[in-house]
């Protein structure tokens, strides 16, 4: 070992021991930090000849001299027949159970930092990583396990003789089990308090993903675990005699998926720190299985529901993250319908009830008295409402729950209304109790309101479409009067309500409304005139003095939809405008004394 003082030595320029030394000799560097210890592992520099014309000033490296084991005390990396498990965890859930279980099975536990301390605190014997690598943790913990003494033991194939010979030559032991989870980047980046750029960078794990990927790649020989839920299965597997490759492959898949999801969060976060464009050139959406479903849209289709684990979706609300308090398990179509109902009802500021059937709102009403709103929403189309989804944007209390349970169909006054789902932001304890008594199958969902500004994704063959969510409400736009007649305040309010409803109806869409209540709607027709006629038929005599909203402009006016609407008795029509025949629509409304307002906003929904 070198002394604490500087020393001048003469060495051979023609045979330097290390790459650093060789560079020094080549460049004639006068000062070189060199650590001259010889170990049996071959990691130290080789001794040099003493026939050189160059002088090197050697300074001691204190941290290395103080922490690296001497040849006499160095921990031998490889012991024949020894089973080793490497454990490095940020989330230490059930760590003691894992450590003790592995130790009982005869495994030597190798660990790092806080994990090692926690294991020792649980009475588990631990070999620290630096004892194997003969190299200290450095760079504030950035470099701990990135070392051949670790990765060689993970990646070596046991069936390749030259791999095992290389390990033996360098005295590196194999690892049979690798248990690693990562720095809590996702939790910190998605926290309500946010995360600074510097803190975000420091929470990007490097060594952890490297070990996980290495072990997963070599899963034929190394069991890799990234989830504490798998500890029991791991220990059970190790106690058995059957080396099930499918078990190993499943753990390897889970490991790669774990790292992929982690990297997607880092990528999403870092993209927002740089450009911030909503549509990056490459996009990864991490999905986590919530539930397998009985079947898809039809019984012959298999299905499942996933939760979007993107950072932008954390605490952002939506039907995928609902709490189900009661009822039959959700189906594929239940999710679609509940999503449509919830998105619609959350757009309204006043206490509102929305009834949905096949993703279309067939009844919508807003009232200060939510029970009145519920009854009016059902009355709009009681036939469609039967077997539908009922959504509220206010708490369901005992009184409302009793009305939902007992309300009779307006068609005959006798048939008790049946629903698939009730969804609301919250329930009183008594309200839940009453609703549970309506039906064993009634699904009672508690949901959080969707955040605005989300990215909307939709699959097409071979790809995906991405767009901003349609978040506009009447408060965000102008209703520009185009006709001679200016709508009265209550008529304009009706037009705004109808416009907000039609936003959630499948195109071509027409909604007729009055007094904050939908009277009729027409949806999904290939031509707008047919949608109009359906809406008029449902509204019946109540159309007189009502407001009509269209999701898109009317391509024709005379002897077409606009004129039919005017002749029906509506008082105001709201549409986006933008047709080359807008002038015809204006003149038609003027002829019949109907107010016409343009929103300049289209609401197509396909």
Q: Is the dihedral of CA 128, 131, 132, 136 positive or negative?
A: positive
Burial class from Cβ neighbours inside 10 Å (0-12, 13-18, 19+) for residue 362 reads buried
Among 132, 128, 129, 134, smallest CA distance to 44 is for 134
CA angle 21/74/178 to nearest 5° reads 95
Asked whether the bond before 380 is cis by omega within 30 degrees of 0, the reply is no
Q: Measured between alpha carbons, how far is 444 from 420 in angstroms, rounded to an integer?
A: 9
Residue 606 annotated in active site: no
State how far the Cα of 273 lies from the Cα of 527, in Å rounded to an integer.
Answer: 46
Cα separation, 484 vs 273, in Å, equals 51
CA 150 to mean position of chain CA atoms:
33
481 strand-pairing partners: 597
Q: Which two tokens stand for residue 485?
A: 């007649």
Contacts of residue 300, Cβ cutoff 8 Å, sequence gap at least 6: none
CB neighbour burial string for 5-17, b if at least 16 within 10 angstroms, e if fewer: eeeeeebebeebb
Q: One of 358, 426, 430, 449 is an active-site residue; which one?
A: 358
Residue of 92, 97, 163, 217 with catalytic role: 217
Q: Are 351 and 383 in contact (CB under 8 A)?
A: no
Residue 592 is encoded by which pair of tokens?
A: 């019949």
Give one DSSP letter per residue of 291-331, joined into a string: EEES-SSSTTS-EEEEEE--GGGTT---GGGPEEEESSPP-
What are the DSSP calls for 436-459, one per residue? HTT-SS-EEEE--PPPSSPEEEEE
Cα distance between residue 571 and residue 578, in whole Å: 21
Q: What residues act catalytically?
A: 217, 358
């Amino acid at each position: 070992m070198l002394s604490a003082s500087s020393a001048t030595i003469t060495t051979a320029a023609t045979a330097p021991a290390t790459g650093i030394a060789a560079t020094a000799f080549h460049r004639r560097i006068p000062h070189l930090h060199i650590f001259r210890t010889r170990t049996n592992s071959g990691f130290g520099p080789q001794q040099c000849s003493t026939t050189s014309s160059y002088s090197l000033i050697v300074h001691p490296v204190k941290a290395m001299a103080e922490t690296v084991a001497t040849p006499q005390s160095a921990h031998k990396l490889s012991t024949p027949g020894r089973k080793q498990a490497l454990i490095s965890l940020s989330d230490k859930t059930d760590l003691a159970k894992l450590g003790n279980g592995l130790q009982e099975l005869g495994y030597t536990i190798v660990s790092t930092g806080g994990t090692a301390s926690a294991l020792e605190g649980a009475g588990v014997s631990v070999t620290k990583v630096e004892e194997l690598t003969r190299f200290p943790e450095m760079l504030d913990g950035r470099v701990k396990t990135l070392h051949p003494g670790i990765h060689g033991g993970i990646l070596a194939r046991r069936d390749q003789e030259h791999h095992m010979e290389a390990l033996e030559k360098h005295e590196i032991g194999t690892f049979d089990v690798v248990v690693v989870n990562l720095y809590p980047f996702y939790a910190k980046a998605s926290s309500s308090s946010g995360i600074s750029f510097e803190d975000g960078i420091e929470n990007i794990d490097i060594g952890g993903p490297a070990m996980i990927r290495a072990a997963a790649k070599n899963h034929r020989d190394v069991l890799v675990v990234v989830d504490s839920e798998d500890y029991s299965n791991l220990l059970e597997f190790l106690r058995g005699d059957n080396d099930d490759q499918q078990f190993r492959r499943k753990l390897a898949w889970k490991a790669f998926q774990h790292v992929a999801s982690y990297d997607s969060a880092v990528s999403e976060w870092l993209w927002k720190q740089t450009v911030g464009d909503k549509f990056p050139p490459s996009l990864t959406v991490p999905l986590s299985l919530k539930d397998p479903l009985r079947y898809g849209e039809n019984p012959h289709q298999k299905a499942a529901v996933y939760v979007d684990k993107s950072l932008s979706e954390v605490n952002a609300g939506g039907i995928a993250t609902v709490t189900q308090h009661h009822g039959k398990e959700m189906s594929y179509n239940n999710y679609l319908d509940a999503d449509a109902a919830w998105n619609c009802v959350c757009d309204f500021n006043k206490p509102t009830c929305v009834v949905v059937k096949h993703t279309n709102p067939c009844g919508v009403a807003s009232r200060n008295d939510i029970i009145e709103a519920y009854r009016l929403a059902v009355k709009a189309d009681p036939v469609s409402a039967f077997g539908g989804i009922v959504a509220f944007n206010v708490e369901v209390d005992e009184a409302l729950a009793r009305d939902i349970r007992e309300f009779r169909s307006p068609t005959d006054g006798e048939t008790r209304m049946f629903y698939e789902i009730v969804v609301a932001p919250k329930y009183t304890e008594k309200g839940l109790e009453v609703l549970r008594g309506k039906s064993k199958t009634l699904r009672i969902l508690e949901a959080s309101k969707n955040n605005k500004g989300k990215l909307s994704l939709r699959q097409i063959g071979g790809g995906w479409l991405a767009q901003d969510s349609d978040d506009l409400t009447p408060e965000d736009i102008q209703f520009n009067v185009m006709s001679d007649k200016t709508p009265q305040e209550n008529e304009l309010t009706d037009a705004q309500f109808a416009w907000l409803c039609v936003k959630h109806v499948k195109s071509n869409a027409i909604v007729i409304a009055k007094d904050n209540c939908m009277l009729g709607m027409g949806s999904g027709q290939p031509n707008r005139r047919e949608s109009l006629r359906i809406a008029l038929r449902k509204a019946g005599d109540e159309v007189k003095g009502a407001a009509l909203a269209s999701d898109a402009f009317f391509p024709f006016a005379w002897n077409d939809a606009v004129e039919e609407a005017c002749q029906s008795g509506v008082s105001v029509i709201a549409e986006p405008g933008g047709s080359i025949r807008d002038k015809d629509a204006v003149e038609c409304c003027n002829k019949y004394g109907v107010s016409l307002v343009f929103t300049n906003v289209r609401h197509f929904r396909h």
